[in-house]
Amino acid sequence: MSALRLLSSAARRAPSTLAQQRRGYAEVADKISLSLVLPHQAIFTSTDVVQVNLAAATGDMGILANHVPSIEALRPGMIEVIESGNASKKWFASGGFATVHPGNKLTINVVEAAPLESFSSEAVRANLQEALKVTAGNGSEEDKMEARIEADVYEALQHALGSK
């Protein structure tokens, strides 16, 4: 028996309960339970929120209730938490991981995060320029690589401050 016929035969014999498990759109009233933690602090602990927007390594993404389970590496960028009544809170995170669990649970583990409003655009701009000078300078390769990482973080922070 060919593999295709074997597969289709098995699919016809599968219980009908499997066919009823379909992914649909999130209901308006659905919430996702968010835990946003740093090594030294928990910002959210199993708090019901409407949506979370984050800077994943694969691109920006928004997470609503009933999101498909996944694990995403986070790049330096903004984490926006939208609570009931469209109240929004924003943090800048240096990087980490987000895990979407079955049952509307989201866990975000980051190394460092701070409220977006605690940053000064002028200070970020000045620090970015300083980091770019080091990358273009005559320093060691190690100094240049560290400055490049620093510049990448400041560029992400400058972008996040621009979208406040």
Tokens of 97: 């991981």
Continuous H helices in the chain: 3-13, 16-19, 121-136, 141-162
> What is the pLDDT at residue 124?
87
Q: How far apart are CA 78 and CA 90, in angstroms?
A: 7
> What is the pLDDT at residue 18?
46
> What is the pLDDT at residue 82?
93
Residue 77 has pLDDT above 70, yes or no: yes
Q: Long-range CB contacts (< 8 A, 24+ apart) of 42-50?
A: 43/91, 43/113, 44/81, 46/105, 48/84, 49/81, 49/82, 49/83, 49/84, 50/82, 50/83, 50/84, 50/86
Residue 138 has pLDDT above 50, yes or no: yes
Q: At what angle do helices 141-162 and 121-136 cross, to 10 degrees?
A: 150
| More confident: 80 or 156 | 80
The model's pLDDT over 103-129, given as tens digits with 9 standing for 90+, comes to: 999 999 999 999 988 888 888 899 889
> What is the pLDDT at residue 9?
58
pLDDT band at 19 (very low <50, low <70, confident <90, very high): very low
Residue 32 has pLDDT above 80, yes or no: yes
Tokens of 92: 């800048």
Q: How far apart are CA 163 and CA 36, in angstroms?
A: 21
- Comparing 15-29, 44-58, 113-127, which segment has the lowest mean pLDDT? 15-29
